[in-house]
Structure 1
């Protein structure tokens, strides 16, 4: 028994060292700097890593797509009120792509590869094969992490030095375990048993593999400073509720602000429309509490008590107690069986006491349903399967992390994502015993989240069409070299070719805070008389408190040399 105790103590010591290493290397949670609208030099993908405690989410790819649109590699056009109908149009004369980061080139290559005649619907960018999606997103995340490490913003959570130290300790533990096995009697020539060194080698292999396993990224001093600054930008964006309701096509006006908003997780509508992977049930949007935020959800699968009814837990406790009592009664004189028997008795008593306390201290929680999915099923007589236990994730507003509850099928079969519910739960077993729907909500599915009625009203409110056209059809026709017809859009006023109907020029107007941000974002390029700025296919100018943005589109880009003249003709 002494040999076994020494071996167990050696393994326990290694586990304690490993746990201390994990505790020591937890990613930091920097405090937000004062709210600011000043953007930094980091790309949106890097910002997504920094503000999510050095953990990459789907925001990295989505914000990169918006950033490429803001940098004129392609255009995002919304023909009507529904953002789901947004299309991506590749630029005929895109900027040089030689300076793009690897992950930016990867996003651009996917869009180019899927486009037909330079156009691809935004909804066609999702993956249809889970394995392909996993490979593509893994490559993108690796590229983002490589750039973050090169910039000194991130590093391996378990460093090579720490991993080597854990391997050396694991080797020492393996020697102790092997020696204990030899002393215990294994490895004798006359025994048909595995040699003692096999136990030591197996212990070393398991512990060293565990110590070398990647645990992700962690902070650096430079990374913490950058994260704090970007959290200040996030607070500034969150202070304006309308920002969360901007569609992807609003990048034409909001420029890189929309991309960075997606990176820090405040562009609820744009992020709901964009999808470059299969979706993540562990990071879900919630509006509970009046503001949109994302909640990380954990789904327990290996807890013996999880979602179990009281009779099952009591039966399990009785089985532990009975097994421990029988072992003591039959083999109590043998030291080898004493420890397992005591362990079973202690486990049975623990399960019994916690089950009774769980019954006595039920509590009620009110929150928004984030995710509901089938977990455990049973086979029917006709060989079909029916679910008897669901995972139900609920955001009660207490934090940005939660653990899903076990929902019996008979208790809450009619609950949908987005509903506000009051649940009666048993905290220890995490079982829902009663659920009452307080209010019906929209499904978290994109098709339900982004309705034409709602997005239309939001777009018209946030980006009103130009009441009095700045330019006549004849004036625009002189610039693009062909007859055009104006048509109002939720995003402004669009001039289309009279013969083909293709868009040629888009004019947008914004007032208030959106107008100020749009003016700040578009103050670049050459300044022309009248206080206007012209950069490539786009021009921006102010009239009173209103910002106007003029963008040449498609074949209308042929009029680029005449864009300063067009701005000068504004009424």
Structure 2
């Protein structure tokens, strides 16, 4: 057996083993599902932002901040007025109430309103940030404060506890040692420049490989993996899901505007936190909007849709001609490398040519076959446009004028993957459209606005 291929195999196996352990850790620590308690109108003591965290499966959504804003109005710190029929005309009026007893994230939202208000009045449309950097910084601080409160109450915990992170670090060190040994063994068998022993160079390369591998693995292990449930958190979440069931029993509740807090009091803020009231969350925006969780009325009922936006798909949104060209080039290079086997007088060249050429040839053939099938098999369906965003998925991060993300809800489920819309096609959020798409490349080939 080729010794160099064996070294590469050891390094690949060590890398795969560590990422396998990492994936297993994420699988084991996923938040467990919660079954709703019987329907009840009894509210608990937990703040709406924490309730939103629990109801969303231990994820923080934009509902948390918006529900907190309504709750501040319910508790007398703010007043929400709607002068006309349109909830978007709602104004926020700051009251001179003492700030004692406010939680850090509640104080942060109240400070934001006071900072923007002129003469104590602020239109809800002026709440959003105009600078993405400021929005992200403010949102990060808000999320951190909400998570801290949930942990203080014993309702949430780190998804990766310190012991698990330490275990992954130990595995990372072990995998890095294997990779470093493989690099050392590989290079130590190579003669140094001008002949002689290459041990010194092999040791330096092995140390570099160890440090780089350990850094990559450790960064992944130490990164914030989000929150997960606790026994107390599941119990409280079940009770609040019972409240959500009770609120859903009131048909008009979903369409109540923010100003209805004067009548419904804290029920409205908790309804927003639980995702029951779509008008409140549609009118109030504290950030730049959550493009990954979008409201849709397609099918006659309001519901949230989770949207995923591909970034690393080589085929995503590309026209057929470009995909065919890439397939032909990849296949050609692979065949050329295989053909060159036995014709290059370089040590181990044959093994390398075959090891690289066969996968490239198979990949090129696969691309060509799938592209032809993609061209022949199209889908046409009606849907509601949820989100439109310029595509910035190039290697250099530059905008691609030929493509933009188009997220639509076709009524098939509460999750979807955004399509790639070529320039020249219409469709704005809220439009009902008829689209023709190529499923594999996820490219829109025709779009007609219906309403």
Would you say the 8 A contact 1:300–1:306 is kept in 2?
A: yes
Q: Using the alignment, how far apart are the partners of 2:379 and 2:246 within structure 1?
A: 37
Distance change >3 Å, CA 360–CA 227, structure 1 → 2? farther
Worse overlay, 244-253 or 348-357: 348-357
Higher gyration radius (CA): 1
3-state secondary structure, aligned to 1:35: coil
Instruction: Provide the residue aligned with 2:125 in structure 1.
Output: 123
Question: Counterpart of 2:445?
Answer: 433
Q: What's the secondary structure of 2:402's corresponding residue?
A: strand
Q: What is residue 166 of structure 2 aligned with on the other side?
A: 164
2:41 alignment counterpart: 37
Distance change in 2, residues 1:87/1:130 (3 Å): same
Q: Secondary structure at the match of 1:226?
A: helix
Instruction: Specify which of 388, 391, 408 is matched with residue 372 of structure 1.
Output: 388
CA deviation after TM superposition for structure 1 residue 47, in Å: 1.1
Larger CA deviation: 19-28 vs 165-174? 19-28
Which whole-Å CA distance do the structure 1 matches of 2:275 and 2:13 have between them? Answer: 46
Q: Secondary structure at the match of 1:16?
A: helix
Q: CA deviation at 1:116?
A: 3.6
Deviations 1:505-536 (A, max 9, x none): xxxxxxxxxxxxxxxxxxxxxxxxxxxxxxxx
Preserved CA contact (<8 Å) 1:102 1:143: yes
The CA deviation at 1:9 is 0.8
After the TM superposition, list the runs of 4 or more consecutive aligned residues in structure 1 that deviate by more than 6 angstroms.
none
**1:222-272 superposed Cα distances (whole Å, 9 cap, x missing partner):** 222222222232233233332222111110001001101111122222222
Higher strand share: 1
User: 1:3 and 1:398 mapped to 2: Cα distance?
Assistant: 48
Task: State the distance in 1 between where 2:393 and 2:415 align.
Answer: 27
TM-score w.r.t. the length of structure 2 is: 0.89
Equivalences, count:
429
Q: Of 333, 338, 362, which residue of structure 2 is paired with 1:346?
A: 362
* Aligned partner of residue 304 in structure 1, secondary structure: coil
3-state SS, counterpart of residue 97 of structure 1: coil
d(CA) in 1 for partners of 2:38, 2:202: 71
Greater fraction helix? 2
Q: Which residue of structure 2 lines up, in the alignment, with residue 72 of structure 1?
A: 76
Residues 89 and 145 (structure 1), Cα distance of their counterparts in 2 relative to 1, 3 Å cut: same
Show structure 2 runs of 5+ residues with no match. 193-197, 343-348
In the alignment, the residues of structure 1 paired with residue 183 and residue 144 of structure 2 have an alpha-carbon distance, to the nearest angstrom, of 43
CA distance in 1, matches of 2:379, 2:13: 40
Separation in structure 2 between the aligned mates of residue 193 and residue 342 of structure 1, nearest angstrom: 33
TM-score (norm 1): 0.71
Aligned to 1:305: 315
Matched residue SS, 1:331: coil
Structure 1 segments unaligned to the other structure (5+ residues)? 379-384, 441-571
How do 1:230-379 and structure 2 match up within 5 A?
Answer: 230-332=240-342, 334-375=350-391
Query: Please, which of 405, 417, 422 is the counterpart of residue 408 of structure 1?
Result: 422
CA contact (8 A) 1:376 1:387 kept: no
Q: C-alpha distance in 1, partners of 2:127/2:447?
A: 38
Aligned twin of 2:410: 396
What is the rounded CA distance, in whole Å, between the counterparts of 1:139 and 1:426 in structure 2? 41
Contact 1:155–1:218 at 8 Å: present in 2 too? yes
Aligned equivalents of 2:117 and 2:328: distance in 1?
A: 64
- 2-structure distance, mates of 1:321, 1:126: 50
Contact 1:154–1:223 at 8 Å: present in 2 too? Answer: yes
1:81 aligns with 2:85: yes
The RMSD of aligned alpha carbons is 2.3
**Residues 160 and 38 from structure 1, CA distance in 2 versus in 1: closer, same or farther, beyond 3 angstroms?**
same
Q: 1:66 to 1:328 in 2, by over 3 A?
A: same
